């Protein structure tokens, strides 16, 4: 999120695409409704469903699932055709604009209508609305990412904001809403297979950096791997880990996966869950660490599983990061009950049993404060170093001194600080950066240019043009010693740069010169290291439009994507729609969260939403002879099938089926109630929607494509 939830209060218009904030982020709605009411800001909702957020919209645009990139490129094209783009912003702070514009040109309103189903006049109208009401706050969520072109779709959102000049401005920005309060923190710690914490990657230098932070011998870490190459190679992802066990797609690893630890992760959020389940029985060992028994506890049939009850958020303390990059301190309310232990204790015991606790606890004497300090000292890439436990706790004690509109403390002990010291917070004196890429403020006061990450200049293969990647002359934060673009700081301490200098001298020198440690560059419209240098539309892997598959085909198959063969082209079968005629999309309901283990175990939430259901348009239901409340079978091309109640509603159109994904405890028509530990059966059980979500993964990130699959529906 470049801005913050509170900053949406300053938006002059808002566009939500692939986000149902009214259900997924209800607390954020106060700011959204504030902008709508006080600024008279249009609230544009683009979604395949008429969601509860759409009910609050001024403008609702129904879009065919998986075609967001086409719509965005269409908007960009209309904006450029009419000269509505922010020419000065593009001239000074954007790279690759002409190359991008040449691609966008193909997405005429007519072409967009053909792909997305959005009337041509509507694309023009929305483009004008955005041009007339700047700045726009743009929000997307999983509806934007969970596609095989998810990484392209999200880039089109960013490019739209660049073209309109809405980046680095209060009321603008790309505001991706994350889930509960530590989803952003988990992301920043890169609890992922392709990077060490704080986005350092897996290169030798990255390992050496973190070894210095942890005070662990690099050679010893290296010796823990079978061979050095595995240290630097991306691991399996959450989306496809089970292929490492069942190997239906070929894996590129010297051994299958033998053990699984699922820690605070609902199993049924994995797509094609019926295949995931196959892996459980083939594993030697499963360890489930959670306050509630998840679907994994019920779906694993063999006696190879251990359940470790972990404490809830009320039974532990520590720092957490919110969607607005704000770090807060959570205090313990009660000691852990029911024999559970908090995550720190479980991790420490685990590491002790492995026999290397002495190596990793050198800097950690006081839990959790020392953990926050250690991760901050290492996470220089994103400026986590200024948020000491002391400062965070002082803010917690002085909430009332912060302004709701600016998030800045007025007077009091935190005077001048922004709430949560939003990262990057470069030093222990820095107030935090409330808006990324905002050059209206000095860097030391929370301003920030665009990072210089991709060299000083580049020659585009698409056009042959060479462009300087640094910001234009005259453009920098106030007080900068260089008025214009400049590269990242390095060799202030010889042999280091701003992100590996643990003394943090480099950062301090940069700030004292009024400059950002990471340079002052341009935001890229062309990503030359991606398969689509400029994002384009590609038909969903399982598309209902065989004619469009020909015109907008997917990528080539990837033999080794995160260690597993991943099909693209060979999976895109134009005939599939004949047997699976309806588009399947999934999403959230406000009463349940994530995989639902916690909320379905709350009797009041279970009372409100006790049943799994499929949303079907009344017209389609009547054609299929299905009445409201009747049971139906939903079947996927991969052989997944679920028996659920039909909920007739016009939220979906008559080609689309919607499933919430929070339910578990049933499996393809059978109840797994007996499999839960005694006394711990959730109040609400139901079929996991993810049993029928389809094959398909993003080309870059391998996130699962759960929003644009195909299915068939039959009366049960």
Partner 1 sequence: MARVKFLCDVERCIDCNGCVVACKEGNQVPVGINRRRVVTINEGRPGEKSISVACMHCADAPCIAVCPVDAIYQRDDGIVLVNKKICIGCGYCFMACPFGAPQFPGDRVFGARGAMDKCTFCAGGPVKTFSEEERRLYGQNRIAEGKVPLCAAMCATKALMAGDADIIADIYRKRVFRRGSGAGAWGWDRAYRGK
- The interface with partner 1 within residues 17-56 (CB under 8 A) comprises 22-23, 26-27, 29-30, 33, 37-38, 40, 50, 52-56
Contact criterion met (CB below 8 Å) for 396 and 389:
no
Token pair for residue 264?
């605070």
- State in angstroms the smallest separation of the CB of 533 from partner 1: 40
Q: Is 238 in the site for partner 1 (CB under 8 A)?
A: no
- State in angstroms the smallest separation of the CB of 173 from partner 1: 22
Dihedral, 80, 72, 98, 132 alpha carbons, nearest 10: 30
- Of these, 133, 573, 649, 675, which contacts partner 1 (CB under 8 A)? 649
Contact criterion met (CB below 8 Å) for 438 and 406:
no
Token pair for residue 192?
């992922």
Nearer to partner 1 (CB atom), residue 92 or residue 139? 139
In b/e form, how buried is each residue of 355-364, taking b as 16+ CB within 10 angstroms? eebeebbeeb
Nearer to partner 1 (CB atom), residue 605 or residue 711? 605
Q: Which residues contact 494 (CB under 8 A, 6 or more apart)?
A: none
**Can you tell me the distance from the alpha carbon of 250 to that of 252, in angstroms, rounded to the nearest whole number?**
7
Half-sphere exposure of 672 (CA within 13 A, CB side): 25
- Of these, 524, 641, 651, 707, which contacts partner 1 (CB under 8 A)? 651
- Of these, 88, 248, 301, 650, which contacts partner 1 (CB under 8 A)? 650
Nearer to partner 1 (CB atom), residue 132 or residue 284? 132
**Can you tell me the distance from the alpha carbon of 700 to that of 194, in angstroms, rounded to the nearest whole number?**
11
Nearer to partner 1 (CB atom), residue 487 or residue 618? 618
Burial (Cβ within 10 Å: 0-12, 13-18, ≥19) of residue 320: buried
Q: Which residues contact 102 (CB under 8 A, 6 or more apart)?
A: 462, 463
Nearer to partner 1 (CB atom), residue 153 or residue 684? 684
**Can you tell me the distance from the alpha carbon of 57 to that of 52, in angstroms, rounded to the nearest whole number?**
9
For residue 247, the Cα-to-chain-centroid distance in whole angstroms is: 27
Query: Across the chain, how many H-helices and E-strands are there?
Result: 25, 23
Nearer to partner 1 (CB atom), residue 243 or residue 591? 591
Nearer to partner 1 (CB atom), residue 372 or residue 599? 599
State the binding string over 543-582 for partner 1 (x if CB under 8 A, else -): ----------------------------------------
Q: Is 119 in the site for partner 1 (CB under 8 A)?
A: no
Q: What angle do CA 42, 43, 44 make, to 5 degrees?
A: 105
**Secondary structure, 3-state, 457-526:** EEECCCCCCEEECECCCCCCCCCCCCCCCECCCECCCCCCECCCCCCCHHHHHHHHCCCCCCCEECEECC
- State in angstroms the smallest separation of the CB of 22 from partner 1: 4
Nearer to partner 1 (CB atom), residue 195 or residue 649? 649
- Of these, 251, 286, 392, 605, which contacts partner 1 (CB under 8 A)? 605
Token pair for residue 316?
């532990």
Contact criterion met (CB below 8 Å) for 485 and 468:
yes
Nearer to partner 1 (CB atom), residue 39 or residue 427? 39
- State in angstroms the smallest separation of the CB of 648 from partner 1: 9
**Can you tell me the distance from the alpha carbon of 716 to that of 625, in angstroms, rounded to the nearest whole number?**
11
Nearer to partner 1 (CB atom), residue 53 or residue 289? 53
Nearer to partner 1 (CB atom), residue 602 or residue 694? 602
- State in angstroms the smallest separation of the CB of 685 from partner 1: 16
Q: Is 400 in the site for partner 1 (CB under 8 A)?
A: no
- The interface with partner 1 within residues 502-531 (CB under 8 A) comprises none
- State in angstroms the smallest separation of the CB of 53 from partner 1: 8
Token pair for residue 585?
């999309």
Q: What angle do CA 109, 115, 121 make, to 5 degrees?
A: 30
- State in angstroms the smallest separation of the CB of 603 from partner 1: 6
- State in angstroms the smallest separation of the CB of 1 from partner 1: 18
End-to-end CA distance of the chain: give it in Å, rounded. Answer: 44
Nearer to partner 1 (CB atom), residue 511 or residue 621? 621
For residue 310, the Cα-to-chain-centroid distance in whole angstroms is: 25
Half-sphere exposure of 513 (CA within 13 A, CB side): 17
Nearer to partner 1 (CB atom), residue 354 or residue 604? 604
- State in angstroms the smallest separation of the CB of 59 from partner 1: 11
- Of these, 221, 608, 624, 680, which contacts partner 1 (CB under 8 A)? 608
Q: Is 591 in the site for partner 1 (CB under 8 A)?
A: yes
**What string of DSSP letters covers 196-252?**
BGGGTBSSHHHHHHHHHHHT--HHHHHHTSSSHHHHSS----TTTTTHHHH-SS-B-
- The interface with partner 1 within residues 167-226 (CB under 8 A) comprises none
> Which listed range, 323-331, 509-517, 628-636, 648-656, lies at the site for partner 1 (CB under 8 A)?
648-656
Dihedral, 645, 648, 649, 650 alpha carbons, nearest 10: 130
Nearer to partner 1 (CB atom), residue 64 or residue 240? 64
Instruction: Characterise 215 by phi-psi region: left (phi > 0), alpha (psi -120 to 50), beta (else).
Output: left
Size of the site for partner 1 (CB under 8 A): 30
Parallel, antiparallel or unpaired: strands 670-671 and 666-667: antiparallel
Q: What angle do CA 316, 321, 322 make, to 5 degrees?
A: 115
Nearer to partner 1 (CB atom), residue 177 or residue 695? 177
Three-state secondary-structure class, residue 154: helix
Nearer to partner 1 (CB atom), residue 23 or residue 698? 23
- State in angstroms the smallest separation of the CB of 31 from partner 1: 9
Token pair for residue 327?
């770090």
State the binding string over 57-96 for partner 1 (x if CB under 8 A, else -): -x-x------------------------------------
- State in angstroms the smallest separation of the CB of 625 from partner 1: 21
Q: Is 590 in the site for partner 1 (CB under 8 A)?
A: yes
In b/e form, how buried is each residue of 657-686, taking b as 16+ CB within 10 angstroms? bbbbbbbbbbbbeeebeebbeeeebbebbb
- State in angstroms the smallest separation of the CB of 598 from partner 1: 13
- State in angstroms the smallest separation of the CB of 418 from partner 1: 22
- State in angstroms the smallest separation of the CB of 613 from partner 1: 13
- State in angstroms the smallest separation of the CB of 49 from partner 1: 8
- State in angstroms the smallest separation of the CB of 336 from partner 1: 21
- Of these, 215, 335, 491, 607, which contacts partner 1 (CB under 8 A)? 607
Query: For binding to partner 1 (CB under 8 A), which residues are involved?
Result: 22-23, 26-27, 29-30, 33, 37-38, 40, 50, 52-56, 58, 60, 590-591, 602-605, 607-608, 649-652
């Amino acid at each position: 999120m470049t801005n913050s939830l509170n900053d949406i209060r300053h938006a002059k218009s808002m566009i939500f695409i692939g986000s149902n904030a009214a259900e997924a982020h209800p607390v954020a709605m106060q700011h959204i409704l504030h902008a709508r009411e006080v600024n008279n800001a249009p609230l544009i909702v683009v979604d395949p469903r008429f969601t509860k957020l759409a009910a609050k919209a001024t403008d609702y645009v129904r879009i065919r699932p998986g075609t967001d990139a086409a719509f965005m490129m269409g908007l960009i094209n209309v904006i450029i055709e009419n000269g509505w783009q922010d020419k000065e912003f593009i001239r000074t702070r954007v790279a690759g604009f002409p190359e991008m514009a040449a691609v966008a040109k193909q997405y005429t309103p007519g072409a967009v209508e053909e792909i997305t189903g959005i009337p041509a006049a509507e694309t023009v109208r929305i483009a004008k609305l955005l041009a007339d009401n700047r700045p726009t706050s743009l929000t997307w969520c999983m509806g934007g990412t969970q596609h095989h072109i998810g990484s392209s779709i999200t880039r089109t959102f960013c490019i739209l904001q660049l073209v309109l000049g809405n980046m680095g401005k209060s009321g603008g920005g790309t505001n991706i809403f994350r889930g509960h309060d530590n989803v952003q923190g988990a992301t920043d710690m890169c609890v992922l297979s392709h990077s060490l914490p704080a986005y350092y990657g897996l290169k030798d230098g990255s390992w050496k950096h973190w070894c210095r932070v942890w005070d662990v011998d690099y050679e010893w870490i290296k010796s823990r791997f079978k061979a050095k190459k595995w240290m630097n190679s991306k691991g399996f992802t959450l989306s496809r880990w089970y292929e490492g066990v069942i190997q239906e797609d070929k894996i590129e690893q010297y051994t299958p996966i033998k053990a699984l630890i699922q820690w605070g992760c609902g199993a049924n959020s994995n797509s094609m869950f019926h295949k995931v389940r196959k892996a459980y029985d083939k594993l030697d060992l499963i360890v489930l660490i959670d306050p509630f028994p998840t679907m994994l506890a019920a779906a694993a049939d063999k006696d190879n599983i251990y359940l470790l009850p972990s404490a809830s958020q009320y039974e532990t303390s520590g720092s957490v990061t919110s969607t607005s990059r704000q770090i807060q301190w959570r205090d313990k309310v009660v000691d852990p009950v029911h024999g559970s232990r908090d995550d720190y204790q479980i991790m420490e015991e685990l590491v002790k049993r492995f026999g290397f606790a002495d190596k990793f606890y050198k800097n950690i004497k006081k839990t959790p404060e020392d953990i926050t300090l250690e991760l901050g000292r290492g996470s220089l890439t994103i400026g986590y170093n200024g948020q000491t436990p002391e400062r965070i706790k002082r803010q917690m004690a002085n909430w009332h001194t912060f302004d709701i509109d600016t998030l800045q403390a007025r007077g009091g002990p935190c005077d001048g600080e922004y709430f949560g010291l939003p990262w990057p917070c470069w030093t222990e004196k820095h107030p935090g950066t409330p808006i990324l890429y905002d050059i209206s403020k000095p860097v030391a006061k929370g301003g920030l240019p665009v990072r210089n990450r991709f060299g000083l200049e580049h020659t585009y293969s698409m056009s042959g043009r060479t462009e300087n990647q640094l910001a234009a002359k005259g453009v920098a934060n106030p007080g900068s010693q260089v008025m214009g673009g400049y590269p990242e700081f390095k060799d202030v301490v010889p042999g280091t740069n701003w992100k590996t200098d643990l003394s943090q001298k480099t950062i301090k020198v940069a700030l004292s010169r009024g400059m950002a440690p990471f340079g002052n560059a341009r935001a890229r419209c062309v990503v030359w290291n991606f398969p689509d240098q400029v994002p384009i539309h590609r038909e969903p892997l399982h598309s209902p439009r065989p004619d469009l598959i020909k015109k907008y085909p997917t990528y080539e198959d990837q033999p080794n994507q995160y260690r597993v063969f991943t099909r693209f082209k060979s999976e895109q079968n134009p005939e599939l729609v004949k047997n699976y005629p309806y588009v399947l999309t999934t999403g959230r309901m406000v009463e349940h969260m994530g995989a639902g283990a916690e909320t379905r175990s709350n009797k009041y939430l279970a009372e409100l939403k006790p049943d799994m259901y499929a949303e079907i348009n009344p017209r389609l239901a009547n054609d299929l002879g299905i009445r409201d409340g009747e049971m139906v079978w939903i079947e996927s091309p991969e052989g997944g099938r679920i028996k659920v109640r039909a909920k007739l509603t016009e939220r979906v159109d008559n080609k689309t089926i919607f499933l919430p994904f929070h339910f578990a405890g049933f499996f393809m028509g059978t109840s797994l109630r007996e499999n839960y530990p005694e006394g711990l059966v959730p109040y609400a059980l139901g079929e996991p929607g993810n049993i029928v979500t389809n094959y398909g993964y993003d080309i870059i990130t391998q996130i699962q494509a759960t929003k644009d699959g195909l299915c068939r529906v039959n009366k049960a």
